[in-house]
Amino acid sequence: MKIAIIKYNAGNIRSVDFALQRLGISAMITSDPDEIRSADRVIFPGVGEASTTMSYLRQHKLDALICDLRQPVLGVCLGLQLMCAHSEEGDTKCLDIFPEMVRRFVPQPDDSTSFKVPHMGWNSVSGLKTSLFNHISEEEYFYFVHSYYATTGADTVATCDYLVPFSAALQRDNFYATQFHPEKSGKTGAKILENFINLIV
Amino acid sequence: MLAKRIIPCLDIRDGQTVKGVNFINIINVGDPVELGKLYAEQGADELVFLDITATHEGRKTFVELVRRIAQNLDIPFTVGGGISEMKDAEALLAAGADKISINSSAVRNPQLIDDLARNFGSQFVVVAIDAREANNHWIVTVNGGRIPTEKELFSWAKEAENRGAGEILFTSMNHDGTKNGFANKELAKLSEILTIPLIASGGAGTMEHFADVFKLGKADAGLAASIFHFREIAIPDLKHYLRGQQICVR
């Protein structure tokens, strides 16, 4: 099976490759359109800022390419946010694969001691749907690091609660995405990656 | 609910773990990768690897080690020690570090925080602060607590946040090594003035100290070294105890 990790101007791309290696899976990190189009699975990871990464994707014509993919695609963290309709970060129009909006966490003055931004650490997720969460129980913990979140809606397949309920995972057709980092979420996270690789197409 | 984090800290010299005894389940206790994996399996939420090597050769060994840690560890980790310029941070990011921690270099050159945050994102930048109390003043110290500076703890922590730090790691030099508990009063004050997460360090001796640092100190994470390395507290026992104290842990 051919797995492509999309290479662009965002951080944390190598971590996903390392996580796949731990599962005995080799992937290629590439920005080559043909390599990405012909892959059986495509992973779109990333840590970074929405507007600069979106303009990079547009310049390199990766935006249309991602939207046109028909094989299973997994967005991670910033990848999930860029797959939404719009992000408040830099007032950025995103890929619009999911209709959700990406908003900034705003701590309330009276709960500033309990709600820090970024939302950083292990949080539990619930309302698990799709085979991405096969063999994963409700309220399992995953590792999150983010200051912006995707709202919940019809495509939400896992919910997390921090200041507000938000989409911990989204799915529409062949597109999957997680706000948490499966590559940094221990054995449970590794299971997510394994489930994604094993999706029945 | 967001869980409170337990973070073991490993001191590294020339690519080897400095502290650590009596681990029966691993072949090489000196190997930071093996020790890190063991902590991860026991339920550590993150790890900190602190390079205490001073030599140039040791630095190169550390970067190679960070790459091996990134390949083998499936939880997030922070690396610190000897990061004084952008290229040091870049090398560690390229090797796979999730976060870097800067301390003395940030005090000497606060602009480094802005530059790191702008280039790599706030989530990558932990500002570690070692401070000592004298006559009701909390003075920031550098070089492992040996040299006092002009800076005051609370204003420096806030300045670090404003410059783009993603987290603050506060070590009370008055409490460090005493095993009498964390500096909860100061931690609570820091937690109140900061909007970014706060990691507490210095003074952990018992499981009760961790309950206190979360309840009284309002810290988001508790860091310790020797009590974990010398197996005085096992992480699964600590998590079990904290759960019993109605503290949310993973």
Q: For position A79, which CATH number holds? A: 3.40.50.880
In a domain, residue B250? The reply is no
**Domain count within chain A:** 1
- pLDDT greater than 80 at residue A16: yes
Residue A109: asked if its preceding bond is cis (omega within 30°), the reply is: no
In a domain, residue B249? The reply is no
| Distance, C-alpha A68 to centroid of its chain | 18
Q: Tell me which residue range forms the domain holding A162.
A: 3-197
Average pLDDT of chain A is 94
In a domain, residue B187? The reply is yes
Length of chain A: 201
The CATH number of residue B130's host domain is: 3.20.20.70
Sign, Cα dihedral of B157, B201, B33, A29 = negative
- Tens digits of pLDDT across chain B (250 residues): 999 999 999 988 888 887 544 444 544 568 899 999 999 999 999 999 999 876 777 778 899 999 999 999 999 999 999 899 999 999 999 899 999 999 999 999 999 999 999 888 899 999 999 999 999 999 999 988 889 999 999 999 999 999 999 999 999 999 998 999 999 999 999 999 999 999 999 999 999 999 999 999 999 999 999 899 888 999 999 999 999 999 999 9
**Domain count within chain B:** 1
- Pairing of the two strands B147-152 and B167-172: unpaired
Contacts of B165 (CB under 8 A, 6+ apart): B113, B117, B122, B125, B126, B127, B196
- pLDDT greater than 80 at residue A113: no
- pLDDT greater than 50 at residue A10: yes
* Cβ atoms within 10 Å, residue B97: 25
| Mean pLDDT on A3-26 | 92
Contacts of A195 (CB under 8 A, 6+ apart): A131, A132, A133, A134, A135, A136
pTM, 2 dp: 0.95
Query: Which residues of A107-187 form beta strands (DSSP E)?
Result: 119-126, 140-146, 148-150, 156-162, 164-172, 175-178
ipTM value of the model? 0.93
Say how many Å lie between the first and final Cα of chain B, rounded.
10
Q: Tell me which residue range forms the domain holding B118.
A: 5-244
Closest-CA residue in chain A for B77? A184
User: Which of B11, B88, B98, B220 is flagged as catalytic?
Assistant: B11
Distance from CA of B143 to the nearest CA of A (A): 28
Closest-CA residue in chain B for A120? B197
User: Which of B51, B88, B130, B220 is flagged as catalytic?
Assistant: B130
